[in-house]
């Protein structure tokens, strides 16, 4: 009798003791983690699917790289792209902006990494390079995202007004409760440069994987940023530092124009892969390359065959995506560096250097032996030439919009645009506030940020 009782008690008592906390420590899903290792943090930065390798797509459609017909415009399914094409006062049909959301998600992921990485600073020697790569990458991604935001949501950088012009909120911590104002344009650019300089000290020269950033990508972005700021000397130096690591150019003579997308993904010129946020205009065969631009290519220019698909009536679609796919490329590539060096050299008066870099690049773009080397007689003519070459080489790369903004600061280069849809004419005059996209409504309502005037 008694025995039964004690056995029962003991069983029950054992059950009670089992209820220690470890039983409940098991995680509910195998694939769920609280990021807690260098591999986990690298995993956050490798989240291309979450947009780590994406850039703005809405500025491209407003630029003079392209135009469309009435039917083509109707085919833009997203209201935002229809409005952005016509530089309308209101752009979005909801309180969000994909460009804003995407960049700040990149910043959030980077900030999570930079905060969590503090726990692992003390790592064995063989893990040191992984750790450095994570820290450097996070700084690069953050800088890249801030810079993307500045091209969409802020004025071009004018040193005379940058201290008071509005930049973007400089979010440097993953704390979602933190509320920030928009920093000045000057402070915003300073943050981009600081992050890039930090990244340079951590990253390897070349990426560990083609989709990841490297020291070369930091210099290349730095060159773009300095150019946008009008710091020509630093821009040229940064571009040369990047070229010192990676100077590969594809000889277009070796590419097959019969392949629909003649350029490979991660091709030899790509320094950092980034594609534009998807909009319908990118897939439309009724979106045509600027006719004047098309006319500016020489007969022996291989780009006419590799970049364009003829559609009759002198109309051409663009297909020369460095993504190797239907998405538009907006990352960093070596060709851009040559254009930057040429332009900055002209602006600094080194016409010969400018011609050397320009000819080196163009020789890979023409049928072998047909290029008549460019020569510059004076600075003014040289500037016009390098700027035109820059347009011809970097079209549909998400660069033109910011170029238009910065060139407008110089009245001689100012660009006035006109478009006609449905019988109505729309204009965008140089330095119009319409060059700066409005912030999404929810950011004004919830975040209390100051809206851009339109």
Residues in 208-247 that interact with another protein by CB under 8 A: 209-211
Site size for another protein, by CB under 8 A? 88
Whether residue 97 contacts residue 79, with contact meaning beta carbons closer than 8 Å, is answered with: no
Strands 54-55 and 275-276: parallel
101 near another protein, judged by CB under 8 A: yes
Whether residue 397 contacts residue 57, with contact meaning beta carbons closer than 8 Å, is answered with: no
In the block, residue with structure tokens 């030899």? 268
Here the tokens at position 353 are: 């250097």
Cβ-based nearer residue to another protein, 44 or 166: 44
253 near another protein, judged by CB under 8 A: no
Using CB under 8 A, which of 150, 203, 242, 449 touches another protein?
A: 449
Among positions 311-350, residues that touch another protein (CB under 8 A) are 311, 324-326
The CA distance from 75 to 121, in Å, is: 52
H-run or E-run covering 427: strand 424-428
Using CB under 8 A, which of 3, 6, 23, 292 touches another protein?
A: 23
In the block, residue with structure tokens 């690298």? 42
- Tell me how many degrees the CA angle 38-42-44 measures, rounded to the nearest 5: 120
Using CB under 8 A, which of 162, 198, 282, 286 touches another protein?
A: 286
The CA distance from 330 to 308, in Å, is: 18
21 near another protein, judged by CB under 8 A: yes
204 near another protein, judged by CB under 8 A: no
Burial class (CB in 10 A: 0-12, 13-18, 19+), 3: exposed
Among positions 128-147, residues that touch another protein (CB under 8 A) are none
What is the total residue count of the chain? 454
89 near another protein, judged by CB under 8 A: no
169 near another protein, judged by CB under 8 A: yes
Whether residue 154 contacts residue 436, with contact meaning beta carbons closer than 8 Å, is answered with: yes
Query: Which of the ranges 49-57, 136-144, 346-354, 391-399 carries the binding residues for another protein, by CB under 8 A?
Result: 49-57
Nearest distance in Å: CB 415, another protein: 28
- Tell me how many degrees the CA angle 72-77-80 measures, rounded to the nearest 5: 100
Nearest distance in Å: CB 53, another protein: 6
Strands 287-289 and 66-68: antiparallel
11 near another protein, judged by CB under 8 A: yes
The closest of 206, 191, 201 to 132, measured between CA atoms, is: 201
Could you tell me the CA-to-CA distances from 102 to 56, 259, 281, 382 in Å, in that order? 8, 32, 19, 38
3-state secondary structure of 425: strand
**x/- binding map, residues 399-438, to another protein, per CB under 8 A?**
----------------------------------------
What's the DSSP call for residue 26? S
Using CB under 8 A, which of 90, 194, 253, 296 touches another protein?
A: 90
Query: Which of the ranges 8-16, 136-144, 399-407, 409-417 carries the binding residues for another protein, by CB under 8 A?
Result: 8-16
Cβ-based nearer residue to another protein, 178 or 410: 178
**x/- binding map, residues 55-74, to another protein, per CB under 8 A?**
----------------x--x
Nearest distance in Å: CB 328, another protein: 14
Using CB under 8 A, which of 3, 6, 27, 412 touches another protein?
A: 27
Nearest distance in Å: CB 159, another protein: 26
């Amino acid at each position: 009798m008694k025995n039964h009782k004690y056995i029962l008690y003991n069983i029950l008592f054992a059950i009670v003791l089992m209820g220690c906390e470890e039983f409940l420590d098991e995680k509910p899903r195998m694939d769920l983690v609280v990021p807690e290792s260098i591999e986990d943090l690298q995993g956050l930065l490798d989240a291309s699917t979450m947009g780590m390798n994406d850039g703005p797509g809405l500025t491209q459609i407003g630029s003079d790289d392209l135009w469309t017909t009435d039917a083509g415009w109707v085919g833009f399914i997203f209201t935002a792209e229809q409005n952005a094409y016509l530089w309308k006062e209101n752009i979005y049909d909801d309180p969000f902006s994909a460009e804003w959301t995407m960049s700040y998600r990149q910043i959030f992921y980077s900030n999570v990494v930079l905060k969590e990485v503090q726990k692992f600073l003390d790592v064995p020697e063989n893990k040191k390079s992984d750790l450095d790569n994570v820290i450097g990458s996070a700084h690069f991604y953050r800088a890249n995202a801030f810079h993307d935001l500045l091209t969409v949501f802020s004025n071009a950088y004018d040193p005379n007004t940058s201290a008071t012009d509005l930049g973007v909120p400089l979010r440097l911590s993953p704390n979602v409760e933190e509320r920030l104002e928009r920093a000045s344009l000057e402070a915003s650019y300073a943050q981009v440069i600081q992050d890039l300089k930090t990244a340079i000290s951590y990253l390897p020269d070349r990426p560990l994987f083609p989709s990841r950033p490297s020291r070369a990508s930091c210099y290349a972005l730095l060159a773009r940023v300095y150019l946008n700021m009008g710091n020509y000397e630093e821009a040229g130096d940064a571009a040369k530092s990047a070229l010192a690591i990676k100077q590969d150019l594809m000889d277009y003579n070796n590419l097959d124009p019969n392949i629909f997308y003649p350029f490979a993904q991660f091709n030899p010129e790509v320094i950092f892969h980034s594609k534009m946020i998807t909009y319908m205009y990118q897939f439309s065969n009724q979106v045509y390359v600027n006719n004047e631009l098309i006319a500016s290519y020489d007969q022996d220019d291989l780009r006419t065959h590799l970049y364009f698909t003829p559609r009759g009536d002198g109309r051409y679609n663009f297909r020369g995506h460095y993504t190797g796919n239907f998405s538009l490329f907006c990352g960093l590539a070596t060709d851009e560096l040559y254009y930057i060096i040429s332009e900055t050299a002209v602006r600094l008066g080194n016409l010969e250097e400018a011609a050397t870099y320009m000819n080196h690049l163009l020789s890979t773009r023409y049928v072998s032996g047909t290029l008549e080397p460019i020569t510059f007689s004076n600075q003014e003519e040289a500037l016009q030439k390098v700027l035109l070459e820059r347009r011809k080489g970097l079209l549909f790369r998400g660069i033109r919009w910011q170029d238009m903004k910065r060139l407008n600061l110089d009245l001689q280069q100012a660009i006035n645009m006109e478009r006609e849809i449905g019988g109505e004419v729309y204009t965008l005059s140089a330095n119009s506030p319409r060059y700066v996209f409005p912030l999404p409504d929810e950011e004004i309502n919830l975040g209390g940020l100051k809206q851009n005037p339109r």
